[in-house]
A and B are shown apart, each in its own frame.
Chain A
Amino acid sequence: SQTIHQWPATLVQPVGSPLSLECTVEGTSNPNLYWYRQAAGRGLQLLFYSIGIDQISSEVPQNLSASRPQDRQFILSSKKLLLSDSGFYLCAWRGPGTEAFFGQGTRLTVV
């Protein structure tokens, strides 16, 4: 069966520090992969999605970037965090014609 791993669960980082969040999927190949951000009291904002290795689409201009170095690995990064980057980050995968499956999320607090 397919599983998705996302870590860390919580993270507190100072302003200006770098960020790296990792997401890996098991039990499937060539999935669509997604990064979403959920700010307090707001919905899910699609940040990036990827349909294959090194194929990344960015939805919102921002301080973040994403990479997909392997088929089942999706990384969210920042060189210098801003206070506004705080939020709940969710990774998801999706096969053809199906729903998305989500990781447990990372709570990022930038201080």
Chain B
Amino acid sequence: AQSVTQLDSQVPVFEEAPVELRCNYSSSVSVYLFWYVQYPNQGLQLLLKYLSGSTLVKSINGFEAEFNKSQTSFHLRKPSVHISDTAEYFCAVSEGSPGGYNKLIFGAGTRLAVHP
């Protein structure tokens, strides 16, 4: 069964500094991987996704994530963060198999706090 581990519950960082939010998954088959962002008291919004093809995926607001099959990781990075990036970030996985696809499992989340 698939599972997701987000290694950092909180990441404080100064504005304009780089950041990496770590995500590792566990699955014995091919996977789909996602990063979502949540602002206070709101639902989740998709940030970026890996379904197949290029292992480096990018969002429109400067985030990127790289799928590393050998390390079973999908870390999220941004070279320069803004105050507005302060939010909770969730990594999620579902399996590519027809039966495993239906379950979408999330990690515990990482709270990114950007300070001026």
B104 neighbours in A (Cβ, 8 Å): 34, 46, 49, 92, 94, 100
A44 in contact (CB, < 8 A): yes
Q: Write out, one digit per residue, whether chain A residues 90-107 have a CB within 8 A of any chain B CB (1) or not (0).
A: 101010110111111101
The A37-58 residues at the B interface (CB cut-off 8 A) are 42-44, 46, 49, 51, 57
Residue of A nearest to B44 (CB): A102
B102–A49 contact, CB under 8 A?
Answer: yes
Q: How far is the CB of A99 from chain B (nearest CB, A)?
A: 5
- Number of chain B residues close to chain A: CB under 8 A: 23
CA A101 – CA B43 in complex, angstroms? 9
Contact of B105 among A42, A46, A103 (CB under 8 A): A46
Contact of B43 among A32, A43, A46, A103 (CB under 8 A): A103
A43–B49 contact, CB under 8 A?
Answer: no
CA A107 – CA B102 in complex, angstroms? 25
A74 in contact (CB, < 8 A): no
Q: Write out, one digit per residue, whether chain B residues 81-101 have a CB within 8 A of any chain A CB (1) or not (0).
A: 000000000101000000001
Residue of B nearest to A43 (CB): B108
The A15-40 residues at the B interface (CB cut-off 8 A) are 32, 34, 36
CA A59 – CA B104 in complex, angstroms? 11
B residues adjacent to A (C-beta < 8 A): 6, 32, 34, 36, 41-46, 49, 51, 90, 92, 101-109
A residues adjacent to B (C-beta < 8 A): 6, 32, 34, 36, 42-44, 46, 49, 51, 57, 59, 88, 90, 92, 94, 96-97, 99-105, 107
Extra A-B contacts (9), CB below 8 Å, given A104-B43, A105-B41: A42-B108, A44-B44, A46-B103, A46-B104, A90-B44, A92-B104, A97-B51, A100-B104, A101-B46
